[in-house]
Amino acid sequence: MKHILKIMALLVAVAGIWISLLETSVVPRSYTWLLPVYLVVSLGCYGLLMVGVGLMLFPTCPQEASLLQKVALVIMFISDQFCAQIPAFSG
């Protein structure tokens, strides 16, 4: 099933619960009317929280960069030495 259909089904289910809450008045109507707004705001806050937490815990690896630089320097050194020994390059 296409993913968008799953999301639509979820939204329809939420809408169904909202309408049934409105009809049965289990919760006072003034609150029920605002339920979609609460849901959207909660989702937004959750998203921002995830971004913030992810940003704080973003894994970094500065040691990898220095290792890579060392390998690059070693290779350059070896190739310079190799070229220096070939008369065509060093002459």
Interacting residue ranges for another protein, rule: CB under 8 A: 2-4, 7, 43, 47, 50-51, 54-55, 58-62, 64-65, 68-69, 71-72, 75
Residue 64's Cβ-side half-sphere holds a number of Cα atoms within 13 Å equal to 3
Specify the 3-state DSSP secondary structure of 13. helix
Least Å distance between CB 2 and another protein?
7
Residue closer to another protein (CB basis): 26 or 61: 61
Least Å distance between CB 83 and another protein?
13
Tell me the two tokens of residue 63: 């040691």
Tell me the two tokens of residue 38: 């609460």
